[in-house]
Amino acid sequence: MVNIERLTPDGWKPSASQDDLHAAITYAKGLCMEEPSTYRVLRNSDLICLVRQQGIIWINASSEVMGETKIEETVSV
């Protein structure tokens, strides 16, 4: 299961879940279009990326995970 959380003034709040990582990222992009905010995508509690209107920031994601998605920047933590 892949979880999507929205950044609010009170911290991260659950927004949705998807079965597939790529579906979760696509869904998070759609949420950004509806309600501009920062969303994070987590798989098994591991942060995969942050999704913003300006693009995606990949965190601890392999090139296989990133696939064909346009990369804004890659960050290692």
Beta strands in the chain (DSSP E): 2-8, 11-18, 39-43, 46-52, 55-59, 73-75
Kindly report the number of other CB atoms within 10 A of residue 44's CB atom.
8
pTM over 0.85: no
Instruction: State mean pLDDT over 54-67.
Output: 71
Are the C-beta atoms of residues 67 and 21 closer than 8 Å to each other?
no
Contact 53, 32 (CB under 8 A): yes
- Which band of pLDDT confidence, cut at 50, 70 and 90, is reported for residue 69? very low
Summarize pLDDT for 10-30 with one digit per residue, the tens.
999 999 999 999 999 999 999
